Structure 1
Amino acid sequence: MILKRAFLTAAIAAISMTASAAMAQTNLKWAHVYETSEPFHTESVWAAEEIEKRTEGRYHIDVFPASQLGKEADINQGLTLGTTDIIISGSSFAAREFAPIGVTYFPYTFRDADHLLAYTKSDIYKDLTAGYEEASGHHITATTYYGTRHTTSNRPIESCADMQGLKIRVPDVPAYLAMPRACGANTTPIAFAEVYLALQNGTVEAQENPLTTIEAKKFFEVQDYIVLTGHIVDHLNTVVSQTAWSQLSDEDKAIFTEVMQEAAARATAKIVESEAALVETFRERGLTVTEVDRSDFEKAVMEKVTFEEFGYRQADWEAIRAVE
């Protein structure tokens, strides 16, 4: 009887401990708009699993790719509404809360991926991300190189002037509009998930994105020309909502930050490697890949576009340009 009672007591204690552990686990939602084949997704999944491991199961994170929880504007709003806890999104959307951070999307700000990565370790990066957090409450933990944005079209483009009247899909973000509009293009904001169809049915005749995105979204199937305008060295931020971040202990904040920065570095390395091979891949598929004089496009932007019209500060832009 004593042994039976001891066994029952131990069993009840084990069940109680299991229930307590289950109750102690916090479930979080991590959302983005990218395809499951892209490093932004695969490394988010890795980070989610790694965080659960390093926090000894205190946090379980489900990753929702490909706009499952909404378009990019929706998931940004979700941080405040509580429908998302973690997102990957560009500073262009962060700029809706704190305009100055959007200066990183001003055309021809960054020289290349290395310059962007150097910026993420700079004082100006700390200032801009702190400004965003103060304005929104949400915390940027890491930044990933998204790729250098180029233009695709169904007509040849060799100079800025060749874009005159071009119907081009551009995200509904001020800085993205700067280069096409400076060159006389007609910009159309179409949701990312709908771009392929818009190109296919002729709603627009051009779009702009990094080579890796052109590959992942199969835009090369409905475009004839890839024009290496290189107008924006793009990036994505990993952002944790104010609610989720405030509930983390200092120890767990350090774990989240470390893992998310590792994931960003892993994704960045994959993007850089992929970009290097894609120009030749697209040529082999029969597309015309055109090198252009980027200074021609940059000159048009600097002559026709001001920082102030977007709410940017020229001093921030100059500080970024000075980063080595």
Structure 2
Amino acid sequence: MSLASVSWWRVFLHLAVRYYPPYSNLVQKESNMLLRNLVTAVGLAVIAASAHAQTVLKFSHTDQQQGARHAAANEFAKKVEQYTQGRYKVQVFCCSQLGNDPKNIEQLGLGGIDFTVSATGSYAPHIPSLNLTMLPFIVDSYAQGWKFYDESPWLKEQFAKAPPKGFRFLATWEAGFRNMTTKDPLNGPDDAKGKKLRTFPNEMMRWTLEAMGFGVQIMPLPEVYLAISQGAVAGQENPIDTIFSNKFYEVAPHVTLTNHVYSPIPVAISEKTWQKLSPADQQAVVKAAQEVAPMARNLIRDNDEKVLAEMATKGAKINRKPNSEAFRKSVESVYVKAREKYGADVDAVLKETAAIRATVK
């Protein structure tokens, strides 16, 4: 029985009692029954509303729809809804719709968005020591990089600094090693001279590229394709998946596999959002993020060669064997410069990663 029908029926009974008293006993019984029905109807409405109550959380990132991090974000969204039993729904915004990486991280602190995922170095404006994760050539393989991010005492200590900054890390997903795409062939530091390369706003990355001989241009990711095509920059550097999903190889067809920086992408939640979650839902969100991590890692590692092959069929020229020794030698000054600013933290990172390189292929 609807609430509307209950209301009309009560009007009818009121008129019947007033103008025809013999109905009063009947009316009393009917009124009691209607009252019970009304209470039942209201109770069911409240229960139904509670059962369908759902909070929507916003996940913002800069990747394209065909990119690996977008696939990881969508999988995370499914798991959050499942593990919170529908109490939370994650809406994923790709392609810098809500902002670039610095803006997304800023919005985490303000509570404007709930989740983002970005290169570790993107969080460095809030935790400066994370610049050191972008030191060049500290790991040489995915296995080495995963061990560093999973087991490093130093990195664990740095990540623990996040909550007072307005966000906290849930897990580390994958983007891959950073490589270069340029309009002209690039084989070593000599070819970098006089060329301006785009990168993201990170101190260590800027130092590294400048040491290699490049001029450095900072600009948001969505502007890079046009900037290259118009000659504002000679190229850019990014992981292979990002190069492919943004089609940078179309305007900078020389893809040089320098693997100069390992660049995974920690996923973070706004601390304001975190504090609103129940302990059970906090565990659900962490579980979802950590379960996606192996998928994200394997997707990048396993797709690197497939993506390179597809780019090659579309005209990209893949340089698999640049002068790595010359590139490595050119950035030795970066470690010296980093020590001057960050002191013992640099030695801690280099010691841990050297031990990993010695034991993990």
1:69 aligns with 2:98: yes
AA matched with 2:113: T
CA distance 1:253–1:315, change in 2 (3 Å):
farther
Does the 8 Å CA contact 1:99/1:310 hold for their aligned counterparts? no
Bigger mean CA deviation after superposition, 105-114 or 296-305: 296-305
1:308 paired residue among 324, 329, 339: 339
Please give the residue correspondences for 1:107-118 in structure 2 after superposition, counting only pairs within 5 Å.
107-118=136-147
Matched residue SS, 2:57 = strand
2:289 paired residue among 251, 257, 260: 260
Does the 8 Å CA contact 1:30/1:84 hold for their aligned counterparts? yes
1:83 paired residue among 103, 112, 115: 112
AA matched with 2:167: H
Matched residue SS, 1:238 = strand
Does the 8 Å CA contact 2:178/2:259 hold for their aligned counterparts? yes
Matched residue SS, 1:322 = helix
Please give the residue correspondences for 1:89-238 in structure 2 after superposition, counting only pairs within 5 Å.
89-122=118-151, 123-134=153-164, 136-238=165-267
User: How many Å apart are 1:194 and its aligned residue?
Assistant: 0.5
User: How many Å apart are 1:207 and its aligned residue?
Assistant: 0.7
User: How many Å apart are 1:203 and its aligned residue?
Assistant: 0.6
Residue by residue, what CA displacement relative to the aligned partner does 1:256-305 show, whole Å, maximum 9, x if unpaired? 11111112221221111110223333333332221213222111111355
AA matched with 1:299: K
User: How many Å apart are 1:99 and its aligned residue?
Assistant: 1.0
Percent identity at matched positions? 25
Does the 8 Å CA contact 2:110/2:166 hold for their aligned counterparts? no
CA distance 1:117–1:3, change in 2 (3 Å):
farther
Unaligned runs of 5+ in 2: 1-29
Does the 8 Å CA contact 2:250/2:316 hold for their aligned counterparts? no
Matched residue SS, 1:204 = coil
Bigger mean CA deviation after superposition, 299-308 or 78-87: 299-308
Matched residue SS, 2:95 = coil
Q: Which structure has greater helix proportion?
A: 2
AA matched with 1:68: Q
Q: State the match for 2:6 in structure 1.
A: none
Bigger mean CA deviation after superposition, 125-134 or 263-272: 125-134
Does the 8 Å CA contact 2:119/2:266 hold for their aligned counterparts? yes
User: How many Å apart are 1:6 and its aligned residue?
Assistant: 4.2
Does the 8 Å CA contact 1:106/1:178 hold for their aligned counterparts? no
C-alpha RMSD of matched pairs (Å) = 1.9
Does the 8 Å CA contact 2:122/2:201 hold for their aligned counterparts? no
Does the 8 Å CA contact 1:28/1:61 hold for their aligned counterparts? yes
Matched residue SS, 1:146 = coil
AA matched with 1:254: Q
Does the 8 Å CA contact 1:124/1:320 hold for their aligned counterparts? no
Distance between the aligned counterparts of 1:162 and 1:205, measured in 2?
A: 11
Residue by residue, what CA displacement relative to the aligned partner does 1:205-261 show, whole Å, maximum 9, x if unpaired? 111111211110011111131111110111111101111112223322221111111
Unaligned runs of 5+ in 1: none
Matched residue SS, 1:57 = coil
1:296 aligns with 2:326: yes
Q: State the match for 2:3 in structure 1.
A: none
AA matched with 2:333: E
Distance between the aligned counterparts of 1:62 and 1:281, measured in 2?
A: 30
Q: State the match for 2:46 in structure 1.
A: 16
1:242 aligns with 2:277: no
Does the 8 Å CA contact 1:141/1:257 hold for their aligned counterparts? yes
Kindly tell me the number of residue pairs found equivalent between the two proteins: 322
TM-score normalised by length of structure 1: 0.92
1:320 paired residue among 353, 358, 361: 353
